[in-house]
């Protein structure tokens, strides 16, 4: 899990706010920024900055209680960030207080849920300037926080809470952090999902993976083809649960989409064909040219009942002038135990091939 970094886009804000609590807010922000830099760049331990954190804590609590509404709001925002920083420091691998850090991080969930779009903007005075933080500047930190506690609950085996916060993060939008979004989907598929959830999360995963930049896909696969293996495992599990697919995909449309999304990846042909099989059985209306490609796959992987079904569908679309396709239908029907249909399309193919010769004879000049 990535460590959380706080990069805030600070924009000038021109409305003046003056007073003792504004100065105390500025002092607390200065302490927070200094501690954050010491931790992220120098790796300072919690013990060395504990006293400064306590001072910042007292200042922010005072401003939250007695300051004006804008001051109190800003103090609440920085108090949450300060607590997050404190939790990160306590939870670092070499910390003797990891349990305390974990408890602190998990206990911030309500605060982070409240810091939604309606809470912003946050305005404050700092270093002789006024600043504003919009929700777009904060949403990345919020997303990464919920991704981190998802992992904590996953490792603790508390899957109900893990699923809750993974879904909460993903609702913010996978573009906030495409890399972490993929990991959240793998967690969702590994936290005792129902059959319906397996279907939902698997489809979400492949859609998301295809939306990622090639460099992001490569990054996910740098660790022993992690993404490819995760995708295959998810869809293999889903493909085996044919009852779920039948229940959720009565028209075969979703199965066809899954198959098309899986097909570009090396090694996914057979798995994609399982979804094409369901789509064919449900009489999904493949485009005519594409239906022949699907038929070839179904035949290659010996899904003969579905291939036969698709043959019958193709036969209703094949024009009488498509001589080669008529002959192909004859061959496929013969293979699938339909001799009468095979004979029918053999005759159509012969009739189709004779028409050009007859026309040529009629057009020939008399000798």
Please enumerate in sequence order all residues whose Cβ is within 8 A of that of 132, keeping only pairs 6 or more positions apart, or say none: 10, 11, 12, 13, 121, 122, 123
Inside any domain, residue 259: no
For residue 265, pLDDT beyond 90: no
Q: Which of 133, 163, 181 is the last residue of a domain?
A: 133
Inside any domain, residue 242: no
| Mean pLDDT score, 237-252 | 80
For residue 319, pLDDT beyond 80: yes
Looking at residue 228, its pLDDT comes to: 87
Higher pLDDT, 284 or 231: 284
Inside any domain, residue 275: no
Long-range contacts of 262-270 (CB under 8 A, 24+ apart): 262/206, 262/231, 262/235, 265/228, 265/231, 267/228, 267/232, 268/231, 268/232, 268/235, 269/297, 269/301, 270/301
Whether this prediction's pTM lies above 0.85 is answered by no
Q: Which of 105, 133, 161 is the last residue of a domain?
A: 133
Mean residue pLDDT across the chain? 89
Inside any domain, residue 120: yes
- Answer yes or no: are the C-beta atoms of 262 and 275 closer than 8 Å: yes
Provide the b/e sequence for 23-56 (b: ≥16 CB within 10 Å): ebbbbbbebbbebbebbeeeeebbeebeeebeeb
How many domains, in total, are found in the chain?
Answer: 2
Inside any domain, residue 366: no
For tokens 């159509």, the residue is: 348
**Which pair of structure tokens corresponds to residue 281?**
């059985």
Over residues 225-238, the pLDDT tens digits come to 888 889 888 888 87
The domain in which residue 95 lies consists of 1-133
């Amino acid at each position: 899990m990535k460590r959380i970094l706080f990069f805030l886009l600070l924009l000038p804000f021109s409305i003046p706010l003056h007073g003792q609590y504004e100065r105390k807010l500025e002092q607390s922000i200065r302490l927070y920024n200094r501690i954050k830099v010491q931790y992220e760049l120098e790796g300072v331990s919690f013990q060395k900055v504990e006293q400064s954190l306590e001072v910042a804590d007292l200042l922010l609590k005072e401003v939250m209680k007695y300051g004006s509404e804008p001051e109190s709001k800003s103090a609440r925002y920085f108090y949450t960030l300060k607590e997050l920083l404190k939790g990160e420091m306590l939870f670092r691998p070499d910390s003797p207080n990891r349990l305390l850090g974990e408890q602190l991080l998990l206990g911030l969930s309500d605060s982070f849920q409240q810091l939604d779009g309606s809470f912003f903007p946050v305005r404050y005075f700092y270093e002789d300037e006024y600043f504003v933080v919009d929700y777009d500047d904060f949403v990345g930190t919020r997303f990464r926080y919920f991704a981190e506690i998802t992992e904590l609950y996953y490792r603790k085996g508390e899957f109900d809470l893990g699923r809750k916060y993974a879904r909460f993060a993903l609702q913010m939008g996978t573009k906030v952090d495409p890399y972490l979004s993929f990991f959240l989907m793998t967690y969702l598929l590994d936290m005792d999902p129902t059959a319906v959830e397996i279907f939902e999360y698997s489809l979400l995963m492949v859609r998301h993976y295809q939306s990622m930049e090639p460099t992001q896909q490569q990054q996910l696969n740098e660790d022993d083809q992690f993404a490819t293996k995760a995708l295959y495992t998810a869809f293999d599990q889903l493909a085996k649960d044919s009852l779920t697919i039948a229940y959720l995909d009565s028209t075969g449309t979703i199965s066809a989409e899954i198959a098309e999304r899986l097909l570009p990846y090396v090694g996914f042909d057979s798995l994609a064909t399982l979804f094409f099989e369901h789509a064919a059985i449900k009489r999904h209306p493949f485009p005519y040219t594409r239906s022949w490609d699907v038929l070839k796959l179904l035949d290659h992987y010996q899904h003969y009942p579905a291939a036969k079904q698709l043959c019958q569908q193709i036969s209703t679309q094949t024009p009488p002038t498509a001589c080669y396709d008529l002959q192909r239908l004859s061959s496929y029907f013969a293979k699938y135990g339909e001799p009468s249909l095979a004979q029918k399309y053999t005759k159509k193919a012969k009739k189709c091939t004779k028409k050009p010769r007859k026309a040529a004879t009629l057009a020939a000049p008399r000798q």
